[in-house]
Amino acid sequence: MSEPAKKQLEEHPLVPVTGIVTKIIDETPDVKTFHIKFENGRPFTPMPGQVAMLSLLSIGEAMFSVRIVDEDHLEFSLKKTGIVTDALHEIEEGQEVGVRGPYGNGFPVDLCKGKDMLFIGMGIGLAPVRTMIYHCINNREDYGKMQIVYGARSPQDLVFKEDLLENWHEVPNCSVDVTVDRGDDEWTGSVDFVPPFVEKLAPKPENTIAIICGPPIGIKFTLPVMEKLGFTNDQIITTLEMRMKCGIGKCGRCNIGSCYVCLDGPVFSLEQLKTMPNEY
Amino acid sequence: MKILDKSKLKDLLNSLSGEAQVFAPVNEDDVIKFQPWTDGKEVDLSSNALLPPKDLLFPQTETMYRYTTKGMKAEVAEVAAGSEKQVIFAIRPCDVRSFLMMDDVFLTKGYEDDYYKNKRDNTILISLGCKDPEPTCFCDSMGIDKSESEHADIVMFDLGEQLALDAKTDAGKALLDSLSELEDGSADKPDTAECIIKVEPQGLAEKLAKMFEHPYWEELSRKCIGCGACTYLCPTCHCFDIRRKNVGEEGFQFRCWDSCMFSEYTRMAGGHNPRPSKKERVRNRFLHKLQYFPERYDKVACVGCGRCLAKCPVNMDITRIIKELGEVAVNE
């Protein structure tokens, strides 16, 4: 890790350090993963679930889930959605980009220790979930059974295919179940929406923490299923998105009640969300 | 305590200008604004400035850093440097109090905003106690002593023909001692009139925590035209946007004031907006002032300066809103 870069980000939390995009992976027609290399080592060590600002200096910056690849590289996966992501989807390997962070609270890795882990990802929502999945894989003995459930709109929209279809199947005591909303001629897997798919898989709530990330509509319909399966609000963890500019709780816009998503989130338990205004 | 004959006020400001950039309330076209002091300007101490001096710590637009981009290359070229010493002369107690709230936002909760901190650390406050509050003032109700500002470096009183100055901090004392225009003396603090408007915001936060879904917000928001003038004039509003300007291969990132009254403020990529209509935005503005900020920083984010109610084009009045919120029935 690069100490000078880390120090710069601490002293000037709103000023990015630059890195070079060394690898671009086409995950789906509208999702790409970027590996960013920093000359003297990565500038920070994000916790699973933390976020960082990624920028094309002349275009703008936006907040994304960030993952450690190795000592020199950080990784971002982004869906083409707005001005910044449109531009980032056009860049080529070798492009220099700005990064600042890490921001937010991250997943409660200690609270989850000793628990069975249920991961439910929908669409690009698998990106934050995946940071925790990798944490559990890298600290396998600290966590119990791992159960990964993923749903995408179609087989073409499956992200992180290597992980979903190969790598994670080799993790001890770990199941991976994948479904799509609509199949195609070659798809032999499950065709189902995530909520009924989870209901059929019927994960056990005992001593389990569920991490659920995806589009709001997916989360909305999955929560009643979780309740039916016997999960309590403190067993369910999710991440929220809001428009962000500063990332350090000053610029004002990402508040939900008196909480700032950039600082106090983006990870919240359902129990916490129930005490907050429904405005996200 | 030091005494200054008002006839020597210009001399005093000129002396102060030797050490730092002085900002003083100057009347120009019937508008009182804090302006960089230069000899020849007329200081107007008759009433508070139309715009709060918050832009001296948190400029309306502020360059954050410069960068160059060329082909695939991108470099952050220069982090905006620190600030010059500045003196804010005749800042009113309400505006001094607002700086404490700015301090909470920009200097606490895990991150110090270096742009703000540089300016704050280089700023000396010379406050002027208020004798005759405006009809729109209600600082009494916000727990502010308008006769004297406890958080200024130097407090100043208007004695009519003279000004009395008293240092409250070491920096203030050093500054006063260096000014030859001042004479040692003593004076009684002048009497101050009470504000006409009275409200009771204390304890309202607990009630508001149960009022998020209350029909009051819909009704209240109908009148608002979403112009954002209230947030522009408010000394405690601190929201900002971050943008950039490119000129060829060079560019700079800057921040500028933003307003929670605008729909783009929260509109996300993809179009989702958690506060899509005036109802949500008006509700957020007043809950932020009266509930969220108190929950987060233990202070009501209003100093009773009365600027928003004096200038709102549709007469939205935070004092009336505080009263009404105190009165409406809430279903437990």
The predicted pLDDT at position A118 comes to 98
Cross-chain Cβ contact B212/A280 below 8 Å: no
B189-210 mean pLDDT: 93
A145/A130 Cα distance (integer angstroms) = 16
Task: Give the tokens for residue B307.
Answer: 């600027």
Confidence check: pLDDT of A259 > 90: yes
Percent above pLDDT 70 for chain A: 100
pLDDT tens for residues A75-129? 999 999 999 999 999 999 999 999 999 999 999 999 999 999 999 999 999 999 9
B76/B69 Cα distance (integer angstroms) = 9
Q: Which of A7, A258, A261, A276 to mutate to test the interface with B (most CBs of B within 10 A)?
A: A258
Closest CA–CA distance from residue B260 to any residue of chain A (Å): 7
DSSP B69-82: EETTEEEEEEE---
Average predicted confidence (pLDDT) for chain B = 95
* pTM, rounded to two decimals: 0.94
The predicted pLDDT at position B126 comes to 97
Of B69, B274, B293, the CB nearest to A58: B69
In the block, residue with structure tokens 């083409």: A80
Cross-chain Cβ contact B274/A280 below 8 Å: yes
pLDDT tens for residues B256-298? 999 999 999 999 998 999 999 999 999 999 999 999 999 999 9
Nearest CA in chain A to B241: A245
pLDDT tens for residues B106-142? 999 999 999 999 999 999 999 999 999 999 999 999 9
Cross-chain Cβ contact A58/B244 below 8 Å: yes
Nearest CA in chain A to B283: A257
Of B65, B280, B296, the CB nearest to A15: B65
Interface A–B counts its CB contacts (< 8 A) at 129
The question of ipTM being above 0.95 is answered as no
CB of B18 within 8 Å of any CB in chain A? no
Closest CA–CA distance from residue A251 to any residue of chain B (Å): 5
Radius of gyration of chain B (CA): 22
- Chain B residues with CB under 8 Å of A216 CB are 272
Cα–Cα distances in angstroms (integers) from residue A246 to residues A66, B123, B262, in the given order: 16, 24, 18
Cross-chain Cβ contact A57/B76 below 8 Å: yes
Cross-chain Cβ contact B111/A13 below 8 Å: yes
CB of B239 within 8 Å of any CB in chain A? yes
Cross-chain Cβ contact A251/B239 below 8 Å: yes
- With a CB cutoff of 8 Å and minimum separation 6, the contacts of B2 are B164, B165, B166, B176, B179, B182, B183, B184, B185
- Edge-first strand order for the sheet with B240-247 is B73-79, B61-70, B250-257, B240-247
Cross-chain Cβ contact A14/B75 below 8 Å: no
Question: Going by DSSP bridges, is the β-strand pair A73-79/A67-68 parallel, antiparallel, or unpaired?
Answer: antiparallel
In the stretch 124-183 of chain B, residues with CB closer than 8 A to chain A read none
Confidence check: pLDDT of B78 > 80: no
- Edge-first strand order for the sheet with A31-37 is A60-65, A51-56, A96-103, A17-28, A31-37, A73-79, A67-68
CB of B269 within 8 Å of any CB in chain A? yes
Q: Which of A14, A30, A275 to mutate to test the interface with B (most CBs of B within 10 A)?
A: A14
Burial of B161 (0-12, 13-18, 19+ CB in 10 A): exposed
Neighbouring C-alpha atoms within 13 Å toward the C-beta of A79: 16
In this structure, which amino acid lies at residue B55? D
Task: Specify which residues B27 forms β-bridges with.
Answer: B32
Three-state DSSP at A200 gives helix
The predicted pLDDT at position B332 comes to 63
pLDDT, greater one: A171 or A217: A171
The predicted pLDDT at position A17 comes to 96
B268/B151 Cα distance (integer angstroms) = 39
A256/A245 Cα distance (integer angstroms) = 15
Q: Which of B68, B108, B240, B252 to mutate to test the interface with A (most CBs of A within 10 A)?
A: B240
Nearest CA in chain A to B295: A258
Q: Which of A57, A80, A244, A251 to mutate to test the interface with B (most CBs of B within 10 A)?
A: A57
Cross-chain Cβ contact A61/B106 below 8 Å: no
- Chain A residues with CB under 8 Å of B212 CB are 257, 277-279
The predicted pLDDT at position B79 comes to 78
Closest CA–CA distance from residue A82 to any residue of chain B (Å): 5
A42-55 mean pLDDT: 97
Confidence check: pLDDT of B81 > 90: no
Residues in chain A: 280
CB of B292 within 8 Å of any CB in chain A? yes
Rounded to 10 degrees, what is the CA torsion of B122, B127, B133, B134? -40
Angle at B13 (CA atoms; ends B11, B18), nearest 5 degrees: 100
Closest CA–CA distance from residue B326 to any residue of chain A (Å): 19
Asked if B144 and B93 touch (Cβ cutoff 8 Å), the reply is: yes
Nearest CA in chain B to A279: B274
Instruction: Identify the CA nearest to A254 among candidates A51, A12, A11.
Output: A51
